[in-house]
Amino acid sequence: MPDKNVGPTGSVLFGTREQVGVGRGISEFRAGRPVVVTGAGEALLCLPVEGLTKERLHAFRALSAPIAPRLVLTSLRAQSLGIETDQPVALELLADIDANMILALVADATSDHQFVPEPAVAAAVAAIELVKLAQVLPAVLIAETVESVTSNFNPAIIAVEASAVARYRETATQTLTIAGEAHVPLSSGVRTRFVVFRDAFGDDPVAVIVGTPDLSKPVPVRIHSACLTGDVFGSRRCDCGDQLKLALARLQEAGGGVILYLAQEGRGVGLANKMRTYKLQDGGLDTVDANTTLGFDDDEREYGVAVRMLQMLGCSRVVLLTNNPAKLEGLAKAGIEIAGRMPIETPINSDNRRYLTAKASRAGHQLRHVMASIAGHSESDDKETGLVP
């Protein structure tokens, strides 16, 4: 039978059943509800650890009985707990392990608990990817079940196919359409046109077109990850707001260009997790170690959606306003011709010095002014600001 979500010409109207399942699974995980992840003969009842309480843990234990739940962690989180592994692991949870202990295992800088880990099965790895897509804590409780009887638990619990999770980002990118656009004059005097895109799963990336870019020539482009704290409130902990303002000015000076404003808060971990990394940084970690301690990669972003937006706007050659080599590489691999790079260096202050230092020395960002500042930054300055680059 033809898929009801696919039109007679084969065009995707709403996404396949599996793709829709992933979108719904993301929504369920964000709401703290369980889903069943299936694949390769496996079926796992999965609950995100985000917001876990004793009541929710008790309900999950009852739902999965007589199977004892296990905790699945990313390889990076496991490594931060002293477990030698290069893949996600599953930890057995004894009956006396309560919600607070689980949350400590997932989010605290250190933990005293000792467990014997085992490699996570493929469906559990997919559950970790799903919880990352939901931008909540990257850890899940799992319990084996049988796919054919999952509806016996609760007909409201949806099933997500593991292989569809792996294809989700690409699928979402291919469903991108232009939802609306309008001219938006800015208080800085820059005149722009906002083009709002939308994919089949509800994300709304925006292209801010400054002036009138000449598409016959390389177009100046800034790929900017949304930063509520920096862009809107002027946070001094990062350089995001300053970069956005500088990019707008540079594009106006160049006679036109494009800013792609993407929902990739905290290098793709989401706003709540960014606040968790800030707390870990306040305890002494730098921005790289804070991300990996929570179980995320240093940078969870990918740029397929940016490539698709540029293609839809008719930009095939760009001059990228960035200090991040990963952005250059990501666009080049996807077929966008990189005609040049324009550095976008912003002021260093006592609150963002350590952050910028980590980006330059550990994440490979090309920040010559930061490296020069490190060389001239005295120990007495560090003592005054409480910072240790």
Tally Cβ neighbours within 10 Å of residue 38: 22
The rounded distance, in Å, linking the Cα atoms of 150 and 339 is 53
Q: Computed from CA positions of residues 349, 355, 360, 364, in that sequence, does the dihedral angle turn out positive or negative? A: negative
Catalytic-residue membership of 299: yes
| Cβ-based neighbours of 333, under 8 Å, separated by 6 or more | none
- Of the residues 56, 222, 301, 353, only one is catalytic, namely 301
Catalytic-residue membership of 298: no
DSSP letters, 147-174, are: GGGGGGT-TT--EEEHHHHHTHHHHHHH
- Of the residues 98, 108, 203, 299, only one is catalytic, namely 299
Q: Are strands 35-39 and 159-161 parallel, antiparallel or unpaired?
A: parallel
- Sheet of 206-211: strand order equals 177-185, 191-198, 206-211, 256-262, 219-225, 317-321, 337-342
Tally Cβ neighbours within 10 Å of residue 358: 21
Active site residues: 299, 301
